[in-house]
């Protein structure tokens, strides 16, 4: 879809799904999200959606990779000028309906993938895109996949069908509730379409809301808009989630070039061995190349995450293999660990100044800047 269309990702924000709504009764709810686009002005927008969970949350009790969403419907959807401040309102008169096959509403089947029609929007420089849609579930139980991590962008939600409303009345600020189409695209000819596949570190979790300070966003800015960049980083995601050959892998197969930064959660909560992780990475690379043989695969080392004991040993084994004898099909290797790690022999630890806080080894915005600068310098020499 991404690879075959004349549309490229309009934002560096990830809309990957790692959770699924599970309600004791049917509901109708409206979600409004403010997104900084890579370009503003006169835009032809188009959206693609995958009604499935991409990656496993925690140990999979609530949501698991490739789990299909339930039956639900889009009652109404709009794009609008969200203004310069993401405060729950939209600029009066700027709402443009998003339609599906010419219809304002659409029923969505479990696991279904589909496109919207094109929508034309004039978005002034410095203003956010506001995407608003009202979703209605068909029954109690599991329904709509979404992203449950701490919000990286401002979002608001409200009960009922309020998609057409321009004010913030009845809306509350969303918390751990990013509900967006899987792909927010705009019509754009680009030199190359990149896909960034990873976990929360690629998604940008723990960096400041609305600042786009994580490294994927900074790389997008550094590359410029002649390059498309689709960030499909998903919090708590792991390589074996992609290797289930489901929705997340399908997204990864869309790039002219794919950067893979996976492994932290495999070694941590997934408790995978080095061999198991390397086998999963090999499987993913093979599956990407099978669909698109000319896709270039950049495999990153596993970022440092302050592992100890057996996990540290596995981390070292995996990174040594990636650097010295990477899996078949890898075109290039980017050493993100070298950017983030303290000097050896404690190089399994992330530099303290790069931690989100004194206890959390998720890279912060300062780390995002360092990784982006290192990647852009490396990438420019290796294009």
Residues 134 and 102 in one domain: yes
pLDDT at residue 195, rounded to an integer:
98
Give the tokens for residue 261: 């930064």
Q: Is position 132 within any domain?
A: yes
215 and 335 housed in the same domain: yes
- Of the residues 126, 154, 183, which one is the last residue of a structural domain? 183
Which pLDDT does position 280 carry in this prediction? Answer: 98
Per residue in 71-108, pLDDT (tens digit) is: 999 999 999 999 999 999 999 999 999 999 999 999 99
Give pLDDT, residue 251: 98
- The number of domains in the chain is 2
pLDDT in tens, 315-372: 999 999 999 999 999 999 999 999 999 999 999 999 999 999 999 999 999 999 999 9
Both 196 and 178 in one domain: the answer is: no
Same domain, 76 and 177: yes
Residue 95, in any domain of the structure:
yes
Q: Do 292 and 277 share a domain, yes or no? A: yes
Based on the domain organization, do 234 and 130 belong to the same domain? no
Both 24 and 156 in one domain: the answer is: yes
Residue 2 covered by a domain: no
Return the pLDDT at 5: 75
What are the residues facing 43 on neighbouring strands?
121
pLDDT in the model for residue 3: 64
Which residue, 97, 103, 100, 123, is CA-closest to 41?
A: 123
CATH number of domain containing 374: 3.40.50.1110
Which of 183, 214, 247 represents a domain boundary (last residue)?
Answer: 183
Q: Is the pLDDT of residue 27 over 80?
A: yes
Q: Mean per-residue pLDDT for 169-189?
A: 98
Domain interval for residue 214: 190-381
Last residue of a domain, one of 119, 148, 183: 183
């Amino acid at each position: 879809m991404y690879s075959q269309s004349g549309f490229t990702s309009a934002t560096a924000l990830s809309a990957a799904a790692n959770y699924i709504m599970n309600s004791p009764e049917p509901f109708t709810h409206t979600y409004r999200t403010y997104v900084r686009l890579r370009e503003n002005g006169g835009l032809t927008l188009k959206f693609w959606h995958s009604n499935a969970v991409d990656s496993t949350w925690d140990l999979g009790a609530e949501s698991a990779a490739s789990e299909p969403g339930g039956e639900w419907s889009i009652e109404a959807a709009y794009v609008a000028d969200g203004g310069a401040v993401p405060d729950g309102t939209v600029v009066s008169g700027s709402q443009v309906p998003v339609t599906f096959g010419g219809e304002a509403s659409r029923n969505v089947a479990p696991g279904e993938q589909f496109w919207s029609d094109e929508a034309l929007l004039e978005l002034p420089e410095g203003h956010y895109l506001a995407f608003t849609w009202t979703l209605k579930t068909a029954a109690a139980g599991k329904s709509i996949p979404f992203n449950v991590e701490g919000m990286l962008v401002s979002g608001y939600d409200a009960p009922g069908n309020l998609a057409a409303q321009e004010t913030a009345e009845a809306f509350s600020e969303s918390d751990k509730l990013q509900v967006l189409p899987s792909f927010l695209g705009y019509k754009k000819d680009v030199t190359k379409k990149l896909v960034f596949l990873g976990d929360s570190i690629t998604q940008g979790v723990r960096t400041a809301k609305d600042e786009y300070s994580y490294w994927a966003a900074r790389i997008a800015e550094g590359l410029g808009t002649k390059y498309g960049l689709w960030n499909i980083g998903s919090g708590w995601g792991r390589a074996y989630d992609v290797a289930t050959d489901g929705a997340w892998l399908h997204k990864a197969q869309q790039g002219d070039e794919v950067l893979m930064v996976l492994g932290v959660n495999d070694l941590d909560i997934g408790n995978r061995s080095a061999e198991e992780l390397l086998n999963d990475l090999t499987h993913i690379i093979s599956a990407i190349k099978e669909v698109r043989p000319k896709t270039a695969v950049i495999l990153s080392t596993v970022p440092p995450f302050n592992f100890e004991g057996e996990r540290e040993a596995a981390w070292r084994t995996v990174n040594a293999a990636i650097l010295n004898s990477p899996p078949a099909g890898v075109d290039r290797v980017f050493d993100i660990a070298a950017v983030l790690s303290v000097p050896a022999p404690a190089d399994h630890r992330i530099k303290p100044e790069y931690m989100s806080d004194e206890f959390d080894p998720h890279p912060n915005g300062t780390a995002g800047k360092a990784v982006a600068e290192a990647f852009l310098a490396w990438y420019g020499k290796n294009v």
